[in-house]
């Protein structure tokens, strides 16, 4: 009889214990799930991983939660955001405007890099020996752009031409957008080696290539240059816990140039690896200059068919 009651009690209690364990396990599993940061692939996958893996490791170390890098092609990024497969995003400054409007992304920090700090400009360049000095000289010429969603390799230059009464669709002989990695370098080399008369290049890439000795700026004439606008931006998805979002934002804004982290047994400087000087707070109103140009160029998220 005693054994019968003992079995009966165990029969009742066991499901409750399993239920509690399962519930606790699911919570712990959720906590142990990596926090995903989607990084837009810039020049190549290896370069992007080398640049930003230290930053991901640093966030894991500082915040005490596991962060994971997700490397994403520009045109595939929206799928991950739509399906909530990333918690944070690191992209150029066009994508967060799209994600903000369509999916509620919050802009939290902007990279500091180059002559304009957390901003960059788009230039229209030609070789000095070509004799192309202004928009009128560009009529009937060939042009190469950077990626079609590049703020400083396409949008800024396209808007500059439209604002100056020059229609790229009608006034150029033709234009091209290069495929493959290192697209901005392809634009600059395309002009340097005479494959195209005119090119659309970010000022930052011109400066970077000149510093590396890959080009001589004396060979080029800058036909036009846009105003400085926000550079690469970090955003947070609306489904992310607000406390976690605040910690990530504070960690980025407090990042010092000499901060280091251990990655694969090697101590690395986070800023040096990422080619940046740090981060500043994203000011939403400063992105209005980009929004205006996206509208002028009939680009997402304001495209009208």
The verdict on residue 268 lying in a domain is yes
The verdict on residue 1 lying in a domain is no
Residue 279 C-beta-side C-alpha neighbours within 13 Å: 23
Split into its structural domains, the chain has a count of 2
The pLDDT-based confidence of 289 (bands split at 50, 70, 90) is: very high
Alpha carbon distance 211, 262 (integer Å): 28
Residue ending a domain, choose from 226, 250, 279? 226
The pLDDT-based confidence of 6 (bands split at 50, 70, 90) is: very low
CA distances from 169 to 62, 140, 166, 253 (A): 50, 11, 9, 42
State what percent of residues in the chain have pLDDT above 70: 90
State mean pLDDT over 25-45: 76
Residue ending a domain, choose from 172, 198, 226? 226
The pLDDT-based confidence of 32 (bands split at 50, 70, 90) is: confident
Does pLDDT of 14 surpass 70? no
Respond yes or no on whether the N-terminal peptide bond of residue 301 is cis (omega within 30° of 0): yes
- What is the domain-level CATH number for residue 176? 3.40.190.10
Shared domain for 101 and 239, answered yes or no, is yes
Q: What is the pLDDT of residue 20?
A: 41
Shared domain for 246 and 215, answered yes or no, is no
Shared domain for 74 and 203, answered yes or no, is no
Shared domain for 108 and 175, answered yes or no, is no
The pLDDT-based confidence of 51 (bands split at 50, 70, 90) is: very high
State mean pLDDT over 1-22: 42
Greatest mean pLDDT among 6-15, 27-36, 233-242 lies in 233-242
Does pLDDT of 246 surpass 90? yes
Q: What is the pLDDT of residue 29?
A: 38
* Residue 81 lies in domain: 33-113+230-296
The verdict on residue 2 lying in a domain is no
State what percent of residues in the chain have pLDDT above 90: 89
Alpha carbon distance 240, 86 (integer Å): 10
DSSP letter at 12 equals: H
Q: How does strand 106-112 pair with strand 233-236? A: antiparallel
DSSP string covering 16-69: HHHHHHHHHHHHHHHHHSPEEEEEE--S-HHHHHHHHHHHHHHHHHHHSS-EEE
The verdict on residue 303 lying in a domain is no
The verdict on residue 203 lying in a domain is yes
The verdict on residue 27 lying in a domain is no
Does pLDDT of 209 surpass 80? yes
Shared domain for 175 and 240, answered yes or no, is no
Shared domain for 222 and 286, answered yes or no, is no
Shared domain for 202 and 154, answered yes or no, is yes
The pLDDT-based confidence of 212 (bands split at 50, 70, 90) is: very high
The verdict on residue 206 lying in a domain is yes
State mean pLDDT over 181-204: 97
Tokens of 157: 């230059």
Shared domain for 257 and 292, answered yes or no, is yes
Tokens of 60: 């894991």
Does pLDDT of 5 surpass 90? no
Can you give the pTM of this predicted structure? 0.89
User: What are the helix (H) ranges across the chain?
Assistant: 2-32, 45-63, 77-82, 95-103, 156-163, 168-171, 183-192, 203-211, 242-253, 270-274, 288-296
Residue ending a domain, choose from 173, 201, 226? 226
């Amino acid at each position: 009889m005693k054994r019968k009651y003992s079995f009966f009690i165990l029969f009742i209690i066991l499901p409750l214990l399993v239920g509690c364990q399962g519930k606790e396990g699911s919570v712990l599993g959720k906590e142990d799930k990596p926090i995903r940061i989607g990084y837009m692939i810039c020049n190549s996958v290896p370069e992007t991983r080398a640049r930003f893996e230290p930053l991901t490791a640093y966030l894991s170390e500082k915040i005490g939660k596991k962060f994971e890098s997700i490397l994403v092609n520009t045109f595939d990024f929206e799928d991950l955001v739509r399906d909530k497969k990333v918690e944070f995003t690191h992209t150029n400054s066009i994508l967060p405007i799209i994600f903000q409007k369509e999916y509620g992304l919050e802009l939290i920090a902007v990279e500091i890099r180059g002559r304009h700090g957390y901003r960059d400009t788009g230039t229209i360049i030609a070789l000095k020996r070509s004799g192309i000095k202004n928009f009128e000289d560009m009529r009937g010429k060939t042009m190469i752009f950077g990626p079609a969603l590049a703020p400083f390799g396409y949008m800024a230059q396209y808007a500059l031409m439209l604002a100056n009464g020059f229609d790229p669709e009608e006034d150029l002989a033709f234009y091209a957008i290069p495929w493959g990695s290192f697209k901005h370098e392809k634009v600059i080399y395309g002009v340097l080696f005479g494959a195209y008369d005119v090119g659309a290049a970010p000022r930052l890439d011109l400066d970077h290539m000149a510093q590396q000795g890959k080009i001589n700026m004396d060979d080029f004439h800058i036909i036009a240059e846009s105003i400085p606008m926000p550079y690469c931006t970090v955003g947070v998805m609306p489904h992310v816990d607000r406390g976690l979002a605040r910690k990530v934002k504070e960690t980025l804004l407090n990042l010092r140039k000499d901060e280091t982290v251990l990655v694969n047994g090697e101590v690395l400087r986070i800023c040096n690896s990422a080619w940046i000087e740090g981060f500043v707070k994203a000011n939403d109103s400063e992105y209005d200059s980009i929004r205006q140009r996206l509208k002028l160029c009939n680009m997402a998220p304001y495209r009208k068919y």
